Structure 1
Amino acid sequence: MADERGAALLRGGVSSPRATFLELFFDLVFVFALTRVSQRILDDLGTAREDLPVEIAQTLVIFLAFWAVWTFTAWVTSRYEPEQPQIQFVVVYAMLGCMVMAVATPRAFDTRAVAFALAFVAVQVGRPIFLTLALRGHPRRLVTVRVASWAVASAVPWVLGAVLPGTWRLACWSVAVVVDYAGLMFGWPVPRLGATRTSTWAVLGEHLAERHQQFFLIALGENILVIGLAFSGRSFSAASSGAFLLSFVTTVLLWRIYFHRAGHLLTEAIRVARSPGRLGESMSWTHLVIVAGVLTTAVGYELAIVHPYERTRLAWAVFLTGGPAVFLLARARFEHEVFGRVSRSRLVGVLALAVLTPLATLTVSVVALAAAATVLAAITVTDYRRAYGRPPERPHPAL
């Protein structure tokens, strides 16, 4: 009887692959969370030069914490039936924790460290423990027991870092993030129980693919929000207006490059893959870098809109041209996952943007943004010419 109640939580043959309204509601929190992360980066760029690497490292830790919460929630709703009240509770619970984390983000390494760390720990520890209890006697509860064990282990440096000052906090939280991601990477191995790699999980691959596509759109939504807020607070000068237009065009180009074939065929690629779980696991890591590239690019937008005629500092160039380069590099891996090959235009684009990054310091920020947009536009045109007059390419997953 307990096994039957636990089995009712698992995805069945009649489960819809589409994301539920609650999951889309959950995603709205991350629009706010990503704006807090990008604002932290902008604040970091205003700090003293010697403190900038430390500030950027702190923001990276925060971003990785948010991604850990989102990606595991996506795996949960792809593995368990999201219409079940228990799973809906898990989603709402994670949503509340993310809201607290997002509110604490601006001062996460200062006065709100305890709030950020406890919210994260509450989600990461509470979620697998609740699922273990909800699964009752079902064999799959051993998976959530493994996850909970690693979450408790990472909770120690999270909580310890929250009460320690300065560099000790960054050191402790960095260790905690490594533990969190090592668990995900190696399958949360526990003595006697072994490991359970996500690549072997029975998940609804179409749902997982759609969730990552939706998170990419969330990142683009954060870009739109940054562009609008930055421009609405400025006078409508020719330079700011030009940077605003370039930022919008660049965002559209990111959308076009992502979804051109590979992005559209991700669901089908997982469906035809010989190892859907392995492809899903690889795709999750790829999207982590894709979203990081999009988020980094958004910081460049605000710099160009607010300081269009200022000489580009090297730190600014990292965001203006380096952000699109990171996106393209991850997008090349994404293409390899779906088609088993990489377009030459992606690699040429990464190389061009890498060369432009130091060269951008010789000009003003709006010109650097225009150069990055030109590279992305050239890739978009190349994609169009390559596909014109040819039958649609079908997925051929490399994994």
Structure 2
Amino acid sequence: MTFAHRLRPRLVEERASVSPLELFFDLVFVFALTRVTDLMAEDPTGVNLLRGALVMAVLWWSWVGYAWLCNLVRADEGIVRVVMFGAMGAMFITALTIPEAFDDLAGGLDGPVIFALGYFVVRLLHLVMFWVISRTDPQLRGQVLRFAPSMVTGTAFLLIASQLTGTAQTVMWILALAGDYIGTLIGGTDWRLRSISHFAERHGLIIIVALGESIVSIGIGVASLPISWAIIVASLLGLAVSGLLWWSYFDVTSLAVEHAFEEATGARQIKIARNCYSFLHLPMVIGVVMLSLGLKKILSYVGDGNHHRLTDPLYGWPLIALFGGAALYLLALVAFKAYATRSVTVPRVVTAVVLIALIPVVWHIPALATLGVLTAVLLAMIGYEMVRYDQPREKIRHGSHP
């Protein structure tokens, strides 16, 4: 076997599963999520929450490109394996600079510039790999050419933003993301998918990664503290919240969308992949990261060791992040399912509205009670859905499907 043959990309099988290298790639994304949570938790203001969401959107677009790439060619074969490790290195450096993505720290290299350049390298490797594998596919090659300007635009605005501060800097970040996302939206539907099950599984796993980060936030917050009943109760409630959000995605919704995804053809299939998975999973992940911030703050309250802190309320932006993050996650789930199946899950819309409405109500109750209220609302939603949609659920989960 020649060296050139060893480097040749290999196509993904129709019913492929996610490869170990893709899971390894996601470990860098896990680290990046923790850095975003830390960025917001350091000074939980509205500005920092917005910055966290903007950073999350940049990281997400880096990850999404490789979800599409590795649905065409195997991540662990040939030159693609080398590209994946290169992208991991660039994304890791980008994640390291998240605390400096907006404001450069004294000493060392220019943090905002390094962040922008790291993002550029991740995107460039992705684009070059797509160019290589599209050499015998004129339709895909044309799609790649239409997609390239959005990458250049996004990176250019991030580099401009690195030289600015304040509102002007934020505007440049928003323009960078608009260039990427809008460019993709209007760039056409000539992309290729080889394995629907792989694509759906890939995005399901990233939701688990995000929810796992929320659990990590709970554990890290009290890891060095002596165990207490307050810590036990808060930790179990936080774990229950993460579990209920997992349930809301994986019990029925992800299966229903995947079935519709499999049945779609042509441009409709590409639109489901783009809109349901590439676009609508972003607000889900942002919602979970916001939730993680709220959980982290609550655990810091109950683990403080000061009896007075147990009666302190969670208020301000951490409270908005806790309830608003859960509401954002649910609304994104509703849109995710609605686009693919043309069916709106009304109880989840109602639950999201209730969570937003409860923010001023729980503003003045102890933080631990606030977490109990959130858990109770989500549990009530899941319980209602289990009874109300019992037959459709049984059909989706256990009925015959091609």
Q: Same fold (TM over 0.5)?
A: yes
Does the CA contact (< 8 Å) of 1:158 and 1:172 recur in 2?
yes
Distance in 2, Cα, partners of 1:173 & 1:109: 10
- CA drift at 1:332: 1.6
SS, match of residue 241 in structure 1: helix
Mean Cα displacement is larger for which, 289-298 or 274-283? 274-283
Matched, 1:87 2:80: yes
Distance in 1, Cα, partners of 2:385 & 2:136: 52
Distance in 2, Cα, partners of 1:389 & 1:85: 47
Distance in 2, Cα, partners of 1:270 & 1:326: 23
Mean Cα displacement is larger for which, 70-79 or 153-162? 153-162
Mean Cα displacement is larger for which, 207-216 or 123-132? 123-132
Mean Cα displacement is larger for which, 161-170 or 374-383? 161-170
Q: Percent of counterpart pairs with the same letter?
A: 27
- CA drift at 1:145: 2.7
The TM-score with structure 2 as length reference comes to 0.85
Distance in 1, Cα, partners of 2:134 & 2:79: 10
Q: Deviations over 1:102-155 (max 9, x none)?
A: 111122212221211110011113421343245446423333233333222322
Matched, 1:229 2:220: yes
Does the CA contact (< 8 Å) of 1:262 and 1:339 recur in 2?
no
Q: After superposition, where does 1:150-161 map in structure 2 within 5 Å?
A: 150-161=150-161
Matched, 1:216 2:216: no
SS, match of residue 235 in structure 2: helix
Match of 1:323 among 319, 322, 325: 325
Residues 57 and 321 from structure 1, CA distance in 2 versus in 1: closer, same or farther, beyond 3 angstroms? closer
SS, match of residue 164 in structure 1: coil
Amino acid at match of 1:330: A
Amino acid at match of 1:301: L
Match of 1:207 among 198, 211, 222: 198
Q: CA RMSD in A?
A: 2.4
Amino acid at match of 1:286: L
Residues 143 and 371 from structure 1, CA distance in 2 versus in 1: closer, same or farther, beyond 3 angstroms? same
Distance in 2, Cα, partners of 1:216 & 1:268: 19
- CA drift at 1:176: 1.2
Match of 2:356 among 347, 354, 357: 354
Amino acid at match of 1:175: L
- CA drift at 1:225: 0.9
Residues 172 and 336 from structure 1, CA distance in 2 versus in 1: closer, same or farther, beyond 3 angstroms? closer
Residues 135 and 286 from structure 1, CA distance in 2 versus in 1: closer, same or farther, beyond 3 angstroms? closer
Residues 264 and 134 from structure 1, CA distance in 2 versus in 1: closer, same or farther, beyond 3 angstroms? closer
Match of 1:380 among 370, 382, 387: 382
Distance in 2, Cα, partners of 1:105 & 1:91: 21
Structure 1, unaligned stretches of length 5 or more? Answer: 46-51, 188-195
Matched, 1:245 2:236: yes
Does the CA contact (< 8 Å) of 1:69 and 1:94 recur in 2?
no
Does the CA contact (< 8 Å) of 2:154 and 2:176 recur in 1?
yes
Does the CA contact (< 8 Å) of 2:221 and 2:300 recur in 1?
yes
Q: Deviations over 1:240-298 (max 9, x none)?
A: 33221210111111111111212234433311124221211121222111111111111
1:144 is aligned to 144
- CA drift at 1:306: 0.9
1:293 is aligned to 287
Distance in 1, Cα, partners of 2:136 & 2:346: 52
Residues 266 and 389 from structure 1, CA distance in 2 versus in 1: closer, same or farther, beyond 3 angstroms? closer
- CA drift at 1:238: 2.9
Amino acid at match of 1:105: I
Amino acid at match of 2:207: F
Match of 1:77 among 52, 70, 80: 70
Amino acid at match of 1:151: M
Does the CA contact (< 8 Å) of 1:206 and 1:267 recur in 2?
yes
- CA drift at 1:348: 2.1
1:302 is aligned to 296
Q: After superposition, where does 1:173-184 map in structure 2 within 5 Å?
A: 173-184=173-184
1:342 is aligned to 344
1:25 is aligned to 24
Does the CA contact (< 8 Å) of 1:150 and 1:180 recur in 2?
yes
Distance in 2, Cα, partners of 1:251 & 1:18: 25
Residues 390 and 61 from structure 1, CA distance in 2 versus in 1: closer, same or farther, beyond 3 angstroms? closer
Distance in 2, Cα, partners of 1:147 & 1:378: 44
- CA drift at 1:167: 4.0
1:276 is aligned to 269
2:49 is aligned to 56
Distance in 2, Cα, partners of 1:345 & 1:142: 43
Does the CA contact (< 8 Å) of 2:335 and 2:344 recur in 1?
yes
1:197 is aligned to 189
Mean Cα displacement is larger for which, 110-119 or 120-129? 120-129
Amino acid at match of 2:315: R
Does the CA contact (< 8 Å) of 1:100 and 1:119 recur in 2?
yes
- CA drift at 1:184: 1.6
Residues 232 and 131 from structure 1, CA distance in 2 versus in 1: closer, same or farther, beyond 3 angstroms? same
- CA drift at 1:228: 0.8
Residues 320 and 164 from structure 1, CA distance in 2 versus in 1: closer, same or farther, beyond 3 angstroms? closer
Q: After superposition, where does 1:101-140 map in structure 2 within 5 Å?
A: 101-111=94-104, 112-133=111-132, 135-136=134-135, 138-139=137-138, 140=140
Does the CA contact (< 8 Å) of 2:211 and 2:288 recur in 1?
yes
- CA drift at 1:203: 4.1
Moved over 6 A (4+): none
1:48 is aligned to none
Residues 75 and 130 from structure 1, CA distance in 2 versus in 1: closer, same or farther, beyond 3 angstroms? closer
Q: Deviations over 1:52-87 (max 9, x none)?
A: 333222222111110000111101111334354232
